[in-house]
Amino acid sequence: MELTPHEQRRTEVLLFTWLAIADVEAYIAMTEEEVEEEYCREGKLHMYNPDKEWQQRLARLTRKWPMLDGFILNIDE
- The answer to whether 14 touches 3, Cβ cutoff 8 Å, is no
Would you state the pLDDT for residue 31? 93
Would you state the pLDDT for residue 11? 86
Q: 32: Cβ–Cβ under 8 A, 6 or more apart, which residues?
A: 50
Q: What is the pLDDT of residues 7-34, one digit of tens each?
A: 888 888 888 888 888 888 988 899 999 9
Q: At what angle do helices 5-29 and 53-64 cross, to 10 degrees?
A: 150
Share of the chain above pLDDT 70, in %: 84
Would you state the pLDDT for residue 56? 84
Dihedral over Cα of 16, 66, 30, 42: its sign: positive
Instruction: Locate the domains of the chain by residue range.
Output: 21-64
Q: Residue 76: is its pLDDT beyond 80?
A: no
What's the predicted TM-score (pTM) here?
Answer: 0.59
What is the Cα Rg of the chain in Å? 17
